[in-house]
Amino acid sequence: MLVADIGNTDIVIGIFENDTLTHSFRIPSKRDESKVFFQMKLVDYLLENNLSPEKLGVKVLSSVVPELSPIIRDIFYEINKEDLFEVKPNLLPALKVDIENPEELGSDLYTNAAAAYFKSNSACIIVDFGTALTFTAVNSSGEIMGVSICPGLKTAINSLFSKTAQLPIVPLEIPKSAIGRNTIQSIQSGVLLGYEGLVKGLIENFKSEMNEDSVRVYATGGLSSILPGLKDVFDEIDIDLTLKGLHIIGSTLSTQ
């Protein structure tokens, strides 16, 4: 199975053999590039890894970047004649979206919810450390209850750098103390240590409002392991959770 998660920063592509993720790679989500750019990136990767496009099976696509959706969709259609599924809210009967405007839910959040809920078969919270930092609540009945969204770690730091004249861009490294002794340490403290408190607080608020006997908490996204103070908050950290959710969705739909 060939899956793709089109995000604001990168397009993450995964290849599954049976239920195992055997390959994954990233292509920058460059909105000004042509179809050829993305096509060549995919073809080159397949060739380098001795993967035949014709032997790939079902394709599954999730996108939060409307400009890139038709480009990747066309490339996937041209790979082979197997089915292509695009993720949207309420795609799976067992995973309902119980919010005011279900069509507004990002396909990546629905995919994350599918991965966590079908893996745990219980109430869960998914924290995705991406361009945005998102929290998704799923109850024990398989209903997505709602979401919380705030700027991601890099987004927050880049915003400080781009919107202020005297603040530098800084590395994502945990400072030695909360009280910064220089500008870089001060920003690291405010963003990184501050986000630890933000994540802990929102998870506790979610659990209280969900009113479930047990809630499993999953973390995903490229920066999901960067805050050591959150290690005990998560039941599982899986940077490939979104890709695995796409695989679950594709496997479910292809057998219906």
C-alpha neighbours within 13 Å on the C-beta side of residue 198: 19
- Domain containing 107 equals 96-245
4-17 tens-digit pLDDT? 999 998 999 999 99
By DSSP bridging, strand 132-138 and strand 143-151 are antiparallel
Residues 22 and 116 in one domain: no
For 122: left if phi > 0, alpha if psi spans -120 to 50, otherwise beta; the answer is beta
Residues 107 and 219 in one domain: yes
**Taking each helix axis from N to C terminus, what angle separates 241-254 and 107-120, rounded to the nearest 10 degrees?**
80
Instruction: Specify whether the CB–CB gap between 60 and 16 falls below 8 A.
Output: no
Q: Which of 177, 160, 180 is nearest to 169 (CA)?
A: 160
Residue 33: which CATH number?
A: 3.30.420.40
Both tokens of 64, joined, read 């939060």
Task: Indicate whether 192 belongs to any domain.
Answer: yes
Task: Indicate whether 71 belongs to any domain.
Answer: yes
Q: pTM for the complete prediction?
A: 0.91
Is 108 among the residues known to form the active site?
yes
Residues 34 and 103 in one domain: no
Task: Indicate whether 203 belongs to any domain.
Answer: yes
Domain end marker among 86, 119, 154: 86
Helix, strand, coil in percent for the chain, rounding step 5: 40, 25, 35
107-161 tens-digit pLDDT? 999 999 999 999 999 999 999 998 899 999 999 999 999 999 999 888 888 887 7
CA-CA distance, 138 to 210, in Å (whole number)? Answer: 8
Alpha helices (H) in the chain, listed in sequence order: 35-48, 69-79, 107-120, 153-163, 183-188, 194-210, 241-254
Percent of the chain whose predicted confidence (pLDDT) is above 90: 74
Catalytic residue among 32, 44, 74, 108: 108
Domain end marker among 86, 112, 132: 86
Task: Indicate whether 219 belongs to any domain.
Answer: yes
Number of domains in the chain: 2
Each of the 256 residues of the chain gets a pLDDT tens digit; together they read 999 999 998 999 999 998 999 999 999 999 999 999 999 999 999 999 999 888 899 999 999 999 999 999 999 999 888 899 999 999 999 999 999 999 999 999 999 999 999 999 999 999 999 889 999 999 999 999 999 999 988 888 888 776 665 666 788 888 899 999 998 899 889 988 999 999 999 999 999 999 999 999 999 987 777 788 888 999 999 999 999 999 999 999 988 7
